[in-house]
């Protein structure tokens, strides 16, 4: 047990977050994302929504403010310029947590490619479509 750590952040996920370096990324993905096939390190959180998991991760991990964008969502198929409801929810969460950077929108294939390169993937139980977020780790100091 640790004090002041969100209970959603178990020991394995905390280890990954701590082991990540500046510029490494973590993907928080919805229930439809093929996480098992794409993850180098997979953390399962099937009972948790993606925004709630992002909130927990943002409570301990700084987001990069050097190379922008430092957050990416999957664009809506057929309308890549319009952010999904989930992308708007992630943007609000980033703003509230002090990371009000613009979120980059990636088409499905580009998002999958970027997710494959992430340090880790957290597979959530998010059922809303396009409930996928990639966060790039910043620095503390």
pLDDT digits (tens, 9 = 90+) for 53-90: 999 999 999 999 888 899 999 999 988 778 899 999 99
Q: Do 23 and 114 meet the contact criterion of CB atoms below 8 Å apart? A: no
Bigger pLDDT: 45 vs 83: 45
In this prediction, what percent of the chain has a pLDDT beyond 70?
100
CA dist., res. 3 & res. 6, Å (int): 9
CA 121 to chain centre: 8
Domains of the chain: 23-136 (3.40.1650.10)
Active site residues: 22
Of all residues in the chain, the percent with pLDDT exceeding 90 is: 86
Full strand arrangement of the beta sheet holding 71-74: 42-45, 120-124, 25-29, 133-136, 71-74, 104-106
pTM: 0.95
DSSP, collapsed to helix, strand or coil, labels residue 63 as strand
Q: What is the pLDDT of residue 38?
A: 97
């Amino acid at each position: 047990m640790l004090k002041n750590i969100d209970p959603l952040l178990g020991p394995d996920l905390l280890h990954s977050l701590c082991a990540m370096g500046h510029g490494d990324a973590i993907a928080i993905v919805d229930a439809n994302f093929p996480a098992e096939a794409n993850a180098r390190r997979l953390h399962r959180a099937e009972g948790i929504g993606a925004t709630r998991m992002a909130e927990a991760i943002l409570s301990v991990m700084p987001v990069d403010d050097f190379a922008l964008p430092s957050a990416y969502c999957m664009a809506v198929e057929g309308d890549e310029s319009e952010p999904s409801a989930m992308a708007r929810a992630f943007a609000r969460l980033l703003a509230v947590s002090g990371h009000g950077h613009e979120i980059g929108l990636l088409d499905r294939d580009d998002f999958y490619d970027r997710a494959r390169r992430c340090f880790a993937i957290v597979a959530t139980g998010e059922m809303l479509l396009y409930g996928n977020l990639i966060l790039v780790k910043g620095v503390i100091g």
